[in-house]
Structure 1
């Protein structure tokens, strides 16, 4: 709808109305100006306090400050839209012991303690996702607690997980789970069974929110008898198949990052957790099942998604697949992230952001 008049890197881009736009009655502005190079809090004040701008996106501002600015604003409103991106914990089903050499974390190895479902259940029950959402993600500004890996769209988001015991923060239940499974605390406070101790290497990329999440989880997990060592990798090496400390190789016990799928979750479920998609040395760790999870029931549900065409039935199958992953503790979802956290002038009409596209996708419809 608009064409570039001027573009200055890291500064300003100016667009003029496109006279050749397909709809003769749109767009509604003669020009649109994008201003960059401003820190998020300054952008928030410009839209909420002074009204100097009409739209400010990606407002990664300290939650209390942002909420106060929005609540006291006479000029703009805060707009938050949630998408499919979920901060989650991957649990390694293979053995990441370096002594295994080329067999390290290969799909045909078994994790010394995470292969025990009781241990995975205990970790899940000692995971306080509500505290993570409130303390780290602004209690709904940047993310909200979820126990679904399929968090959006609503049609595929399972209501069942609200009743799952592994989705409830309950330290007493976590301790009882480990007691029943024969994992007992030693003099050092670390649980063990035979010669195997519950020592967890927990990795993520260098990121303030994820490192705060690590610290919070470490405290709760150690309270039930785990030893938790934390590691953070630079972004470029963590999200890489070439680094020993990367998410793709997953040479640790637990890792956290965010991921999400399209409105149709078939490809996301297939890549992330089906038996045929395990990351391994033979495929240069390029496949998406980093945890090397394998479950025939889950695989069968995904196969059904490839042949079912009825939307309602497809949504039901997707919810079932989600529930299998959660009940088997193949993954521990934490927070559904906000795809949009923006300030919008009250005088600006037609803004209707989607988590599946650019916030500007319908800029031709914007009016004042």
Structure 2
């Protein structure tokens, strides 16, 4: 059983010069005898960064996932309770051995009027591998035939176990049955793409709002890079009657003070408060704190001479006060983290929380950390070590980085930290290219199962991005993927997490919490614990 979160949230910023609509905007309708005024359903939001990409074959971040999932739709989508529900597929017929799923594509159209077909899924899924998208591993997780061999280069993308039997019938073949398949298919990497349109756009595909097609509840009607974007209701969407919002405006600005001013002046409808503002607003009627399943952690480049040493990595993990960090620096409901899988995310077949079962890993004191550092320095033949810590230049991250630097240098005098702040997109690029030493990274779950965290660290995995490798860990993860006994599978996942921390492969920082101000007139804004952050399909603004 999984514990889900329904959160109402927004993060980010707004630039000078943006036009702000109001959720109270009205439109007039005239007839011969009367004039009525109808409230226009407008939601104004803030986001922390630009959209890195609108190509679902390449997307690998929550901002892109959220936009893509609101303007497009796959075979399944996440519903109001974050459970998978049929979307572009009308049904899912499964063979007796559980290996073949046959989907009937419902009558639905792209925003240019073309019908959505089974071939759109075949093209898009194969394209993930052809475009070297980072989420080819999701097809492995789904147990889709030949996915593993395509990832390793043994087979070509066109051998993937997906086939269009006719215009409206899609066949998906698995290597082993997968009870999580419906949930996995809600992930944006599995969205369809119109081959004719994609190829007609060439290198311009997905670079602007006009270089895209949409088959979801909304269309992206405007995209001003680094400034804002606008969703408008997609009148051609198959379930358009369910969609109540006419428009969603998302503004991009980084400063927390600007966010707060925009909220106070009714320019935006919800914000995440910075730690500095929590105490001032904690008694406000619109203030709420929300637990999240996104984790923040230190990613180490295992090719670095010092950080390739297990004892030095363990020393860094143990040497600072995580509880003081979430209490004093973040002050937003975040939780200190001493593991990989966060609290209240997954429960075992016996009903116990994963984090409770595995406890706090690598939770030592400063003396232990100093002893591990001394041992590690001796092993690499150095008296000290200089480390560059790369950090996304998003408000709040700088405070965490400064706190971490001060704690490490105070408690481990032989360690010197240099901070390097970079844009979010550049941090992704540096991680992927292994052009960093140590980086503050984040991971939001792709699906609601501990494997979404555990599967990250297999050798050469697309999410690994630090050259960590343990053949025993790889073998265990592979066995978990094929284990059908739920109790045994859960025990194996617990073992895998312990193995990762025996290697001190990463250093967990915290489980994100959110301190939010949100207007009480907003209903049905659904926050998901995995994949896209939230859905607008069921959102409605009440009259005040």
Fold shared by both chains (TM-score > 0.5): yes
* Equivalent runs, 1:278-297 vs 2, <5 Å: 287-297=462-472
Look up the match of 1:202.
Answer: 389
Name the CA shift for 1:208/1:67 in 2 (closer, same or farther; >3 Å): same
| Alignment equivalent of 1:228, drawn from 385, 405, 417 | 417
C-alpha deviations, 1:283-321, integer Å up to 9, x for none?
xxxx33211111123212211221123445444433332
How many angstroms apart in 2 are the aligned matches of 1:229 and 1:66?
A: 29
* Matching of residue 131 in structure 1 with residue 305 in structure 2: no
More displaced 10-residue stretch of structure 1: 324-333 or 60-69: 60-69
Residue 63 (1) aligns with residue 275 (2) = yes
Distance 2:499 2:327 in 1: 27
CA contact (8 A) 2:391 2:420 kept: yes
Match of 2:536 among 350, 360, 366: 360
Match of 2:441 in 1: 257
Q: Contact 1:202–1:231 (CA<8 Å) still a contact in 2?
A: yes
Equivalents in 2 of 1:365, 1:61: separation in Å? Answer: 22
Contact persistence 1:351–1:365 (CA under 8 A) = no
Q: In structure 2, do the counterparts of structure 1 residues 253 and 162 end up closer, same or farther at CA, with 3 Å as the change threshold?
A: same
User: Equivalents in 1 of 2:384, 2:240: separation in Å?
Assistant: 67
Residue in 1 that maps onto 2:372: 177
Q: What are the equivalent positions in structure 2 for 1:134-149 lying under 5 Å apart?
A: 134-140=327-333, 143-149=334-340
CA separation of 1:120 and 1:362: change in aligned 2, threshold 3 A: same
What is the match of residue 89 of structure 1? 298
Query: Do 2:311 and 2:376's aligned partners in 1 also have CA atoms closer than 8 Å?
Result: no
> TM-score if structure 1 supplies the norm length?
0.67
Q: Any idea what SS the aligned residue of 2:534 has?
A: coil
Distance apart, 1:172 and its partner CA = 1.8
| Residues in 2 aligned to 1:294 and 1:236: alpha-carbon distance in whole angstroms | 26
Segments of 5+ residues of structure 2 without an aligned counterpart are: 1-17, 24-39, 43-232, 348-352
Aligned mates of 1:154, 1:145 — CA distance in 2: 17
Verify the 8 A CA contact 2:332 2:513 in the aligned structure 1: no
Relative contact order, CA 8 A, sep 6+: which one is greater? 1
Cα distance in 1 between the residues matched to 2:250 and 2:239: 29
- Which stretches in structure 1 are left out of the alignment for 5+ residues? 1-8, 47-51, 96-111, 185-191, 241-245, 278-286
Alignment RMSD: 3.8
Q: What is the DSSP-based 3-state SS (H/G/I as helix, E as strand, rest coil) of the residue aligned with 1:71?
A: coil
Aligned equivalents of 1:257, 1:206: Cα separation in 2: 12
Counterpart in the other structure of 1:119: 312
Q: Residues 450 and 493 of structure 2 are in contact (CA less than 8 Å); yes or no, is this contact kept in structure 1?
A: yes
Task: Tell me which of 153, 167, 173 is aligned to 2:345.
Answer: 153
Alpha-carbon offset, residue 89 of structure 1:
0.2
Pick from 11, 14, 17 the counterpart of residue 20 of structure 2: 11
Do the aligned partners of 2:309 and 2:376 also contact (CA within 8 Å) in 1?
Answer: no
Residue 78 of structure 1 aligns with which residue?
Answer: 288
Partners of 2:296 and 2:279 in 1: CA distance: 22
Q: Take 1:64 and 1:273, find their aligned partners in 2: how far apart are those partners?
A: 35
After superposition, the C-alpha distances for 1:175-232 in whole angstroms (9 at most, x for unaligned) are: 12334x2747xxxxxxx96356422222223233223222222222223121222222
CA distance in 2, matches of 1:23, 1:206: 38
Instruction: Note closer, same or farther for the CA distance 1:308–1:361 as it changes in structure 2 (3 Å cut).
Output: farther
Which secondary structure does the structure 2 equivalent of 1:305 belong to? helix
Are the counterparts in 1 of residues 527 and 535 from structure 2 also a CA contact under 8 Å? Answer: yes
CA contact (8 A) 1:351 1:366 kept: no
Preserved contact between residue 353 and residue 360 of structure 1 (Cα < 8 Å): no
Report the secondary structure of 2:370's partner residue: helix
